[in-house]
Amino acid sequence: MEDKEINPFEDIDESKEENNKIFQKFKISDIVFLAIMAALMLLTGGIMPLALGLPIFGAIPLCIGFQFSIIPVVALMKVKKIGSLTFMSLLLGGILAFMFWPMFICIASCGIITEILVLIIFRKYNDKACFFAGLIYTPLTIPFLYLILNTMYHNDNPKSAINAMMHPELWQVFVISGCIILVCALGSLLGIKIAKELRKAGKFN
């Protein structure tokens, strides 16, 4: 018997009572799982210091976009509760602040804004909302980084990602931003597929 093909946007069956609630209580297991996923994001975000040396606009979000869309989407497919992404973002941002302090503001703000948009557009986390969250989460860091670096940060190295972020050319903004969105879209689709395979295997029960 052949396995049924998995549709990335076909919602996983859950209890109707839970699905109808916009705000749901977090269980201890939810908190632990989200903390583990945040730690995994931190681990894969270890490439960030290397990205700081690249004189390319958007080098940081471009380097972390793929993994920072896969991991949150998998986490949200498991814990489909408003506040999940914000919790992960605060944990992650708090640690990233020691590496590059503007990332705390970026990550925390982007997590909050993403969940506000999810609430407005979808009202709750379904599969399409999880994809949407993964799609916009990292790209939202671009305007935050630009504003923060140009108002609060002094950079004396012209050949760095910081300088490139502070003084981009117009074509770079559109091309690199498009690449980041594409990378995040691919990561989000992969995250949904991974989560559905894990659900099918009984790992998310």
18-32, 115-129, 157-171: which has the minimum mean pLDDT?
157-171
The pLDDT of 133-144, averaged and rounded, is 91
Q: Is residue 166 part of a domain?
A: yes
Q: Which domain holds residue 185?
A: 27-200
Q: Does 5 map to a domain?
A: no
* Rounded average pLDDT over 17-32: 76
Minimum mean pLDDT range among 31-40, 103-112, 113-122: 103-112
Tell me how far apart the alpha carbons of residues 88 and 31 are, in angstroms, rounded to a whole number.
Answer: 9
Evaluate whether 94 touches 104 at the Cβ level (below 8 Å). Answer: yes
Question: Which pLDDT does position 25 carry in this prediction?
Answer: 84
What digits encode the pLDDT tens for the residues 62-98? 888 999 999 999 999 999 999 999 999 999 988 878 8
Distance separating alpha carbons of residues 41 and 124, to the nearest angstrom = 23
Percent of the chain with pLDDT over 90: 45
User: Is residue 127 domain-resident?
Assistant: yes
Is the model's pTM score more than 0.75? yes
Domains contained in the chain, number: 1
Q: Collapsing DSSP states into helix, strand and coil, what is residue 5?
A: coil
Residue 18 belongs to a domain? no
